[in-house]
Structure 1
């Protein structure tokens, strides 16, 4: 007997749960966390969540310049 196929709603819900778990687990617990470590954790989460091999973050200043 084959396993039942997941429908789109089940897949979406699983993804939402995974996303929520990542944000809860990855939220810095101390004020000593640096911006660079937060950005590193964010990019790592993106790689995990999006199932890609790498992720990058572009930062812009107040004028929108990179």
Structure 2
């Protein structure tokens, strides 16, 4: 999964930042938004704070593959 996240970030489908707690926070870019969804997850810890997670649709495979091939050809 780490390699997929790295590729999605490198080719512009998502951004990755660190939260104040040091956790990774992934957000879809304009390029990635049509191929992703933010999904509600179980509540975090005892605080009950809502948690959302970026999930990718299979439709991202071809555009990501095309971006990788274009980069290799350049």
Return the TM-score normalized by structure 1. 0.30
Larger proportion of strand? 2
Bigger Rg over Cα? 1
User: Could you say which structure has the higher helix fraction?
Assistant: 1
